[in-house]
Structure 1
Amino acid sequence: MTLRIGFLGYRFMGRAHANALARLPMFFPDTPETERRILIGRDEAALDDAADRLGFTETATGWRDAIDDVDVFYNLAPNFLHAEPAIEALDAGVHVLCEKPLADSLDDAERMATAARESDATAAVAFNYRFLPAVARAKRLVEAGKLGEIRAFRGRYLQDWLVDPTAPWSWRLDADLAGSGALGDLGAHTLDLARYFVGDVTRVSGHTRTFVDERPDPEGDGTQSVTVDDATTAQLAFENGATGTVEVSRVAPGRKNDHRIELDGTEGALRWSLERPNELLVRWPDSRGFERELVTEADDPYADHWWPPGHVLGWEHAVVHENYEFLRAIAADDPYDPDFEAGLAVQRLLDAVQRAAADGGWVEP
């Protein structure tokens, strides 16, 4: 079986997923064969160049006609374009991988999840950090009870690309196009890992802040308003009684892509940072402090597909592993996680944090 692939979008995540598809036959030979069939975008000149670089045989400037010619549809477009293409693809029986957050609003996320429930196709949301070996090993430790009962989750995701007030405006700074700012862009990943490791969240509080209200128009035509958060903090109450804190910011000086999580349990604790993605810091009951584990051994998640022990992996490998699991699930007709239900659960938390920030209290998702 050869799966015909269509991409809506060809910039950052388009390159990342095309790279993953190119790597899979070399390192994961049991992956179903794929054909990069159609690349979809609006700028024809840029589209033709991108198709050559990313290995697509055809291009299209509209997504509706392209859906009829593919088996798998990757929605890598801005958030406001997630719902309609994904729903139409699922209605047509086409498998979908949608970038996070699932949508720009809770209403759209609910419509997308409904379409996924009613379709026989696989619907995946791209929470790719689940597929880094160290994160996957941490999940194994938690599931095996090595940390005991989880009492606390702490997560933060910090970047600095908006520290400069003259940094140009983009669609990510418009609430109508993105839904939220740092909260949805970064916090979606952190909230997904919170649920992945600890479980359902019963209530949240939140505080959002926009530090720069206007930014230069990228076309040089004055300024445009910023209508999303630059930074957000939130507290979480989990169903199992654990506590949680989340901090996200795109105005944190010196933090390029600093995603960190910590878990405290009754028998141990662990810490992980995307800036050191191959390492886990683990504290066991008989140790005085955290011990470093390098997650590159052949028996670590995914590590046997790559290099000898100690030869580390990077950010892009999470996307390779994500694509492997997604395409393998399609071929085997197996369930895939994280699916649109996981995406909807995170969208409910994003919405709840925004409502809590507006109300000044705790709210239920």
Structure 2
Amino acid sequence: MTKPPQPPQPHQGDGGGKPPLGVGMVGYAFMGAAHSQGWRTAGRVFDLPLSPVLAAVCGRDGDAVRAMAGRHGWAAAETDWHALITRDDVDLVDICTPGDSHAEIAIAALAAGKHVLCEKPLANTVEEAEAMVQAAAAARERGQLAMVGFNYRRVPATALARKMVAEGRLGALRHLRVTYLQDWLVDPEFPLTWRLRKEAAGSGALGDLGAHIVDLAQYLVGEPVAGVSALTETFVRERPLPAGASSGLADAGGGDGRGPVTVDDAALFTGRFASGVIASFEATRFATGRKNALRIELNGERGSLAFDLERLNELSYHDHTEPGAHAGFRRILVTEPDHPYLEAWWPPGHGLGYEHTFVHQARDLVHAIASGTAPEPSFADGLQVQRVLAAVEESAAKNSVYTPVLPVDPIGPVTPTAPTTPTTV
């Protein structure tokens, strides 16, 4: 069992006397900052059964990680993740590193008796993800929990959409179409960061953006993708070597020399669900003018839902059972206290943002740990997404041939549910 964490540092507070949950994070760039915000804020907004304590953050660059620790409120800094996962004041290891290290860190942390939160995609390969699922299952028997960080499930509007689908508001689903469009790679002189190297990132837009939309699609439909037919393309095949450290979304500029891009720049695929729902997916980092444009629409026999991440406090809903004379899409402003996650936030009409998805993620994981219930999305859910991504790559390599996706059974299928307000432990 996990050793009890040390008391929090005085400046962090003690959560009103609640037992502390010591968090250790590996990785400190873009995602590290977002996760820090989530852990730092969750206990100040929601009534949590445990008090998250930012115990230690880890990164290879000592000066940079110490600066990050001071900026975001971490009590200590480490430069070796092996040291972090053995700290007595760390109960949970939060992995925010490139995908090539996810499996090694997660499996070791679970073996060390820690709970684990791992950023998406779960791994770089199906084999790594399968090993992580097996390690999570063994750890579950010892009382440790593991969750993968698909934060877009935690947007109140998408959680409401899942609830409406589960309640039958759309009737039998027919179509799903989803796109995730960015443009930060349009410049052919943008340097060859780790996100453009297969050995570090696993894949390009497919894993970076496609993992999000595959998980969100499966979450909303309520079942896994059964098969895909795909195209992928790399538009710029060689880029300048980076001059300095980079998060992958911003950089220090190009240096001397050039290197090959070994991942996709865009992925386009169709999919089928076992129930008969057909779907289209597009993920690209070359959509000029699009910064973070995730859009999803579901069409059913009784109605439709549409969501746009760049208008994330809104959900569009069409009720097809209404008379045609006054039917049409209407805007639902998802800021009411009885909407998912909104019970603890601001008065109606005061919108939330991207950072709040990480606060909600921390909230849900803390409640799962306190109650001993399996968190969602699980490592098995992450493996399901990984199998879809692998099927996309296989299909694209075989001239778009339809490629079935192996279901996750007997580990367990995707079983998404809309979040509810948990009972305080």
> TM-score when scaled to structure 1?
0.98
- 2:330 matches 1:291: yes
User: Which amino acid in structure 1 is aligned with residue 341 of structure 2?
Assistant: Y
Distance in 2 separating the partners of 1:30 and 1:280: 28
Shift of 1:133: 0.6
Q: Which amino acid aligns with 1:10?
A: Y
- Matches of 1:25 and 1:66, distance apart in 2: 23
After superposition, residues 152-191 of structure 1 pair within 5 angstroms as 152-191=175-214
- Counterparts of 1:206 and 1:228, CA distance in 2: 15
Aligned to 1:187, the other structure's residue is in SS state: helix
Equivalent residue number for residue 213 of structure 1: 237
User: Which residue of 26, 41, 53 corresponds with 2:59?
Assistant: 41
Q: 1:4–1:72: 8 Å Cα contact kept in structure 2?
A: yes
Whether 2:266 is the aligned partner of 1:269: answer: no
Q: Any stretches of 5+ residues in structure 1 without a counterpart?
A: none
Pairwise CA RMSD: 0.9
Larger deviation: 325-334 or 344-353?
A: 325-334
Report the Cα distance in structure 1 between the residues aligned to 2:332 and 2:129, rounded to whole angstroms. 38
Task: Tell me which amino acid in the other structure corresponds to 2:218.
Answer: R
Out of 200-209 and 27-36, give the one that drifted further. 27-36
Deviations 1:206-255 (A, max 9, x none): 10000000111112121111011101101101010110000000010011
Q: Determine which of 284, 291, 295 is the counterpart of 1:256.
A: 291
Match of 1:202 in 2: 226
Partner of 2:40: 22
Q: Which residue of structure 1 lines up, in the alignment, with residue 29 of structure 2?
A: 11
Give the Cα–Cα distance (whole angstroms) in 1 for the partners of residues 57 and 342 of structure 2: 31
> Which whole-Å deviations, capped at 9, do the CAs of 1:321-345 have from their partners, x for residues lacking one?
0110011111111111101000000
Distance in structure 1 (CA, Å) of the matches to 2:393 and 2:174: 25
User: SS state of the match for residue 222, structure 1?
Assistant: strand
Q: Letter of the aligned partner of 2:345 in structure 1?
A: W
**Preserved contact between residue 153 and residue 262 of structure 1 (Cα < 8 Å):** yes
- Corresponding residue number in structure 2 for 1:357: 396
Matching of residue 96 in structure 1 with residue 96 in structure 2: no
Letter in 2 for 1:15: A
- Paired residue type of 1:25: G
| More displaced 10-residue stretch of structure 1: 74-83 or 31-40 | 31-40
Instruction: Compute the displacement of 1:31 (Å).
Output: 4.5
Instruction: Name which of structure 1's ranges 342-351 and 84-93 shifts more when overlaid on structure 2.
Output: 84-93
Q: SS of 2:390's equivalent?
A: helix
SS at match of 2:242: coil
Shift of residue 289 of structure 1?
A: 1.9
Q: Which runs of 5+ in 2 are unaligned?
A: 1-18, 244-254, 406-425
Aligned residues with identical type, % of pairs: 47
Corresponding residue SS for 2:359: helix
- Contact kept, 8 Å, 1:38 with 1:59, in 2: the verdict is yes
Q: Which residue of 1 aligns with 2:77?
A: 59
Cα offsets for 1:97-144 (capped at 9, x unmatched): 000000011111111111111112111100000011100100110000
User: What is aligned with 1:322?
Assistant: 361
Matched, 1:140 2:163: yes
SS in 1 for 2:239: strand
Match of 2:92 among 63, 72, 75: 72
Instruction: State the 1:30 CA deviation.
Output: 2.1
Q: Secondary structure at the match of 2:137?
A: helix
**Paired AA for residue 185 in structure 1:** D
Specify which of 127, 130, 135 is matched with residue 110 of structure 1.
130
Cα pair 1:133 1:295 within 8 Å, conserved: yes
Residues 7-44 of structure 1 show CA distances to partners (whole Å, capped at 9, x for unaligned) of 00111111111111221222113251122111111111
Structure 1 residue ranges, 4+ long, deviating more than 4 angstroms after superposition: none
Please give the TM-score of this superposition, normalised by the length of structure 2. 0.85
Distance 1:226 1:113 in 2: 30
Number of residues of Structure 1 aligned to a counterpart in Structure 2: 365
Question: Helix, strand or coil: the match of 1:194?
Answer: helix
- Farther off after superposition, 111-120 or 286-295: 286-295
CA distance in 1, matches of 2:314, 2:274: 29
